[in-house]
Structure 1
Amino acid sequence: MLNLNDMAVFTKVVEAGSFTGAARLLGLPKSTVSRKVAQLEEELGVRLLERTTRALKLTEIGATYFENCLRIVSEAEEANLSVARMRATPRGRLRITAPTEFGSLYLGEVVAEYLRRYPQVQIEVELGNRVVDLIEEGFDLALRAGVLPDSSLMARKLASESVFICASPAYLAAKGKPQTPDDLSGHEMILSPASPRSHLKLLSEQGEMTSVAIRGNLRVNSLAMARDAAVAGQGLVALPEMICWEDLQKGRLLIALEGWAPPGSGIHAVYPSPRHLSAKVKSFIDFLQEKLTPPPWKRI
Structure 2
Amino acid sequence: MDKFAGLRAFVQVVEAGGFAAAARQMGLSRSTVNRLVIELEDALGVQLLQRSTRRVSPTVMGGAFCDRARAILADLAEAEQAVAQLQAEPKGTLRLNAPMSFGTMALAPAIAQFAAQYPDLQIQLTLEDRQIDPIAEGYDLTLRIGEPPSAASLVVQQLAQMPMLLCASPSYLIQRGEPRVPADLKAHACLHYGHFANQSEWLLQGPNSPHRLQVQGRFCANNGEVLRDGAIAGLGIVMLPEFIVSAAIASSQLQPVLRDYPPAPLMLCAIYPANRHLSVKVQRLMQVLGDRFGGDR
Map 1:228-267; keep pairs closer than 5 Å. 228-267=229-268
Distance 1:137-1:188 versus aligned 2 partners, 3 A rule: same
For the pair 1:214 / 2:215, whether they are aligned, the reply is yes
User: 1 CA distance for matches of 2:248 and 2:102?
Assistant: 16
Q: How many residue pairs end up in the alignment?
A: 230
**Separation in structure 2 between the aligned mates of residue 235 and residue 133 of structure 1, nearest angstrom:** 34
Mapped partners of 2:30, 2:243: distance in 1: 60
Shift of 1:204: 2.8
Q: Which amino acid aligns with 2:293?
A: L
CA contact (8 A) 1:194 1:238 kept: no
Percent sequence identity over aligned pairs? 32
Q: Distance in 1 between matches of 2:25 and 2:150?
A: 53
- Whether the aligned pair in 1 keeps the contact of 2:202 and 2:215 (CA below 8 Å) is no
> Which residue is 2:112 aligned to?
112
Q: Structure 2 matches for 1:24-63, cutoff 5 A?
A: 25=27
RMSD of the TM alignment (CA)? 3.3
Matched, 1:22 2:37: no
Using the TM superposition, give the Cα deviation of residue 195 of structure 1 relative to its aligned residue in structure 2, in angstroms.
Answer: 6.9
**Cα distance, 1:101 vs. partner?**
0.4
Deviations 1:212-253 (A, max 9, x none): 232222111111010011112111111111211222233221
State the one-letter code of the partner of 1:289: G
CA-CA distance at 1:87 after TM superposition: 8.7
**8 Å contact kept, 2:189–2:237:** yes
Q: 1:25 to 1:128 in 2, by over 3 A?
A: same
Q: 1:241-271 deviations in whole A, cap 9, x for unaligned?
A: 1211222233221122232233211212111
2-side partners of 1:237 and 1:28: how far apart?
77
Letter in 2 for 1:141: L
- Flag as ranges the 4+ runs of structure 1 deviating above 6 A: 18-21, 27-31, 84-87
2:40 aligns with none
Unaligned runs of 5+ in 1: 1-17, 32-80
Task: Tell me the distance in 1 between the aligned counterparts of 2:162 and 2:230.
Answer: 22
Q: Following superposition of structure 1 onto structure 2, how do residues 1-300 of structure 1 map, counting pairs within 5 Å?
A: 22=24, 25=27, 88-152=88-152, 153-193=154-194, 197=198, 199-206=200-207, 208-273=209-274, 276-294=277-295
TM-score normalised by length of structure 2: 0.67
For residues 98-125 of structure 1, give each alpha carbon's deviation from its aligned partner in whole angstroms, at most 9, with x where no partner exists.
0000111123222222122212211111
Change (3 A) 1:27 1:265: farther
The secondary structure found in structure 2 opposite 1:215 is: coil
Q: Which moved more, 1:87-96 or 1:201-210?
A: 201-210
Give the 3 Å change call, closer, same or farther, for CA 189–21 of structure 1 in structure 2.
closer
